[in-house]
Structure 1
Amino acid sequence: MKIAIAGAGEVGLCLATEFCKSEDEVVVLTGTVKPSFKNLKAEIRLTNYSVDDLKKNLDDCDAIVSTLSGPDEFYISAHSNILEACRQSRRCKHFIPSEWNINIEDFPDQPMFSAATHEVVRKKLRSQHDIKWTMICHGWFMEYILSPEKNPLREIGLAWVMNHGTKVFDMYADGLQKVTLTSTADTARAVLAVLRDSINTAADLPPVTHLAGQTLTYRDLFQLIRTRDPAWKSSPVTFSEVLNAIHEGLKANDALVAVHQMRIMGFTNANNNPKGKALEWGTGVLAGLRATGVQEFLDQAQA
C-alpha cells in the first residue's frame, strides 16, 4: 500500500514512525517542513490543503490518514477538502479522519470542546458512499503514562490524571471508571491492518473502529503506577469542582476550559472501549498483532 498521513505534529510523527517500519510506502503531507521527519523513510510533500493540491498529492496513494487538529475552521475545511480530493482521485478511496479518541460511538458529544466541529465532518462522511472511512477509537494513548521527557506527545496538563512533576494522580470520584490505553505503535499497526484488509478485500469499513490495548479502572492504574514508584499519591477530584472550573473559565474566556472539559470524561466510561466492541488482537483483521500492556510498556520505556 501507499499511505498518506496528513499532518506532521506529534501524533503524525508517531504514526509515521511506525508506518515506516512496514513494507508500505509512506507519504507525509504537511504545510511546512518539519525537521523531525527528516530521518524517516517517508516522502514529504508540502500542501496548502486545497482540493486541487490534495488531489495532486494523493494521486498515487491508496489511503489517507489524517492527524490534523484545530482550529475549528481549519479542521472542517481541511477534512472536507481531503474528502473531496479523495472523491476526485482515481486511486485514493480510503480515509481515516483525525479523531484519535475515546469511545465516540457511545459518547459522540465528548470531549465537549471539539465534538460540534468533528460532527460537521462526520456528517459529511456519513452522507456520501464514494469513500470508505472509519474513525479510530483507541481510548487514551498509552504514552501519557510516561514522564514528559519520555512521552513523545504534547503536554496536556490537568487533562490527564498523572502529574509527573508532583507525582500526584487525580482520582475521579471513586476511581472505578474504566480507561482504555493503547500505544501509538499498536494503534498504527492496527490502522495499517484495517486499511490493508479493506483495500485488498473491498470490504466496507464500520463508522467506528474500536481498539483496546489494555483497559483498567483509574484506581487499578494508580495502584500499578504506585507499585512501581511508591512516591505517587492520589488526590480526589469531585465532579462539582470540575464543573465549577468550567463555569468560571467560560465567564473569564479561559483557554483552560477545554482541559477541564476533558476531565469530565473521567467521571464517565467515555474513556472505555468495551471488550465486545474492540477488535480482538491476534485474530481476524488484527491477525498476527498483539497489544502492549501497561506493565510491558513501562518496562520498555525504562529500558
Structure 2
Amino acid sequence: MKIALAGAGEVGLCLATEFFKSEDEVVVLTSTVKPSFEHLNAENRLTDYSVDDLREKLDDCDAIVSTLSGPDEFYISTHSNILEACTQSRKCKHFIPSEWNINLADFPDQPMFSAATHEVVRNKLRSQNSVKWTMICHGWFMEYVLPKEKNPLREIGLAWAMNHSTKVFDMYADGLQKVTLTSTADTARAVLAVLRNSINSGAGLSPTTLLAGQTLTYQELFQLVKARDPAWKSNPVAFSEVIGDIFEGLNAKDPGVAIHQMRILGFTNANHNPRGKALEWGTGVLQGLRATTVEEFLDLAEARKGK
C-alpha cells in the first residue's frame, strides 16, 4: 500500500512518523520542503495543489490522507482539488480529508468556526461515488495531556482544559462530560488499518470512523493528573462565561474567538466517541492493535525524560 500524506505540519509529522514504521510506502505532499521531515528520509513531492499537479503526484499512490488546514478558501480549494485528482486518478481512490478530533457522527456542526467550511467539502464527497472516503474522529489527541516542551502539537491555549504552565485545569460545569483521548501514534496505526482493509477487500468506508483510545470525564482526567502531580488545581468554568467571551469576540471581529468556540466542546460530549460507535481495538478492522491509556502514555513520556 502506498500512501500520500498531504500537509507537513505538526499533525502531519506525527502521523508520518508512525506511517514510516509500517511496511507501507509513504510520500509527503507539501508546497515547500519541510526540514522537520528530513530525519524520516521521506520522499517529498512538491505540489501547488492544482488538480493537474495532484493527479500527477498521486499517480502511483493507493490513498491520500490530508492534514491540511488553513483559511477557509484554501481548505475548500485544496480538498476539492484532491477529490477531483482522485476521481481522475487511475489508482488513488481512497481519501481521508483533514477533519480529526470531533465526533462528527453526532456533532457535525462543531467546532463553530470551521463547520460550515468543512461541510462544503463533505457535501462534495457525499455527492460522488468514485472515491471512497471517511472522516477520522479520535476525540482529542492524547499529546495534549503533556506539557508544552513534550507535546509535538501546536500550542492551543484555552482551547484545551489543561494549562501546563500554571497547572490549572479548567473544569467545565460539573466536569461530568466525557472526553475521548487517542494518541497520534494509535490514530496513525488505525488510519492505515482502515485504509488497508478497504483497499485489500474492496469494502466501503463509513462517512465517519470513530476511534477511542481512552474515554474519561473531565473530573476523572483531573483526578488522574493530580494524583501524579498534586500541584494541579481545578478552575470552575461557567457556560455563561464562555458564551460571553464568544459574543465579545464576534462583535470585535477577533480571530481569537475560535479559542472560546473550542471551549464550548467541554460542555458537551462532542469529543466523546462512545463504545458501540467507535471501532473496537483488537478485533475486526483493528485486529492486532491496542490503544494506549493515558496512564501508559504519561509513563512513556516520563521514561523519555531527558533523552
Q: Into which bin does the TM-score normalised by the smaller protein fall? A: over 0.9
Structure 2 counterpart SS, 1:38: helix
Q: Summarize deviations over 1:87-114 as a string: whole Å, max 9, x none.
A: 0000000000000121011000000000
Unaligned runs of 5+ in 1: none
Look up the match of 2:90.
Answer: 90
Question: Which runs of 5 or more structure 2 residues have no equivalent in the other structure?
Answer: none
Where 2:295 maps in the other structure, the secondary structure is helix
Within 1, Cα distance between the matches of 2:252 and 2:189?
A: 42
Given that residues 25 and 42 in structure 1 are in contact (C-alpha distance below 8 angstroms), is that contact kept between their aligned partners in structure 2?
Answer: no
Report what 1:127 is aligned to. 127
Which residue of 2 is the match for residue 10 of structure 1?
10
Specify the code of the residue in structure 2 equivalent to 1:25.
E
One-letter code aligned to 2:212? A
Q: How does 1:82-231 map to 2 (within 5 A)?
A: 82-231=82-231
Deviation string 1:45-104 (CA, Å, 9 cap, x unpaired) is 100000000000000000000000021000000000000000000000000000012101
Aligned-pair Cα RMSD in Å: 0.5
Alpha-carbon distance in 2 for matches of 1:245, 1:211 = 31
Q: Provide the rounded CA distance (Å) in 2 between the counterparts of 1:205 and 1:42.
A: 28
CA distance in 1, matches of 2:221, 2:101: 19
The aligned counterpart of 2:30 is: 30
The CA distance in 2 between the partners of 1:261 and 1:241, in whole Å, is: 12
- Within a 5 Å distance, the mapping from 1:24-63 to structure 2 comes to 24-63=24-63
Instruction: Determine the C-alpha separation between the residues in 1 that align with 2:42 and 2:288.
Output: 24
The letter for the 2-side match of 1:240 is S
Letter in 2 for 1:284: G
> Are 1:278 and 2:273 an aligned pair?
no
Query: 1:42 offset after TM fit, Å?
Result: 2.1
Distance 2:167 2:32 in 1: 36
Q: Structure 2 length normalisation: TM-score?
A: 0.98
> After TM superposition, which residue ranges in structure 1, 4 or more long, deviate above 6 angstroms?
none
Q: TM-score, normalised by structure 1?
A: 0.99
Query: Is contact 1:29–1:44 with CA below 8 Å preserved after alignment?
Result: yes
| Percent identity between the two aligned chains | 82
The amino acid across from 2:150 in the alignment is K
Paired with 2:46 and 2:100, the residues of 1 have a C-alpha distance of 23
Letter in 1 for 2:34: K
Secondary structure of the 1:250 match is helix
Q: What is the rounded CA distance, in whole Å, between the counterparts of 2:161 and 2:2 in structure 1?
A: 37
Alpha-carbon distance in 1 for matches of 2:256, 2:72: 17
The corresponding residue for 1:73 is 73
Amino acid at match of 1:247: F
